[in-house]
Amino acid sequence: MPANPVRGAVDGLANSRGRSAQHILIGLGLTVGAVAISALVARLNAPTEDNDEVYSDYEELVQPEIKPPPKVFAAIWPPLFLTLTLSGWRIWNAPKSPARTQALTLWGLVQALNAVWMALGPKRLSGQLAAAVASFGTASAYVWRARAVDPPAANLVGPYVGWIGFANVLTEELWRKNPDYRVMH
């Protein structure tokens, strides 16, 4: 048992045994910041009660039959962003290795693709579908590389990959049902 139980708890959660407090805090700041930017982009592009669609100068999209209610999306995204943050933080704190560098690079790409996907919004379906497919592939590759570095970090991202796969199905159905929106406007 560690001399400091708080440090022991942090080390267990963050995979940070042997790391300095400064390294742990920098990693926390970087991972929270990256995920927060993706979440902020999503929030800025979310429909509101006053404006159902961010790009309202277009006709209404034909919606997929299996589309969950907005409250489901609102309930699912925060825990998924939290697990992405924790996963990236655990990889950040792992011992330096080529696999760690690759996993961190893929983790960063997942965050960037999330931001792109959300920024494109529902009216730019071709770009959104491309970003969604790339996000799914990159997140899957991240899980593969993270498993070599820290299996619990990889396991944390499993639900995110499943959700992104489901979101890809919805985006593809939107794309298929709305051929007028396949071209970037």
For the chain, how many structural domains are there in total? 1
* 142 closest CA partner among 95, 183, 84: 84
What is the reported pTM?
0.73
pLDDT tens for the chain, 185 residues: list them: 557 888 888 888 888 888 888 998 999 899 889 888 877 876 776 655 554 444 444 456 555 566 666 676 677 778 888 898 999 999 999 999 999 999 999 999 998 888 887 777 655 666 777 787 888 899 999 999 999 999 999 999 998 888 888 777 776 666 566 666 555 44
Range of the domain at 131: 5-181
> Rounded distance, CA 100 to CA 111, Å?
17
> Rounded distance, CA 185 to CA 129, Å?
14
CATH number at residue 48: 1.20.1260.100
Inter-residue long-range contacts of 158-167, CB under 8 Å, 24+ positions, other chains counted: 159/79, 159/80, 159/83, 160/80, 160/83, 160/84, 161/136, 163/76, 163/80, 164/132, 164/135, 164/136, 164/139, 165/136, 167/132
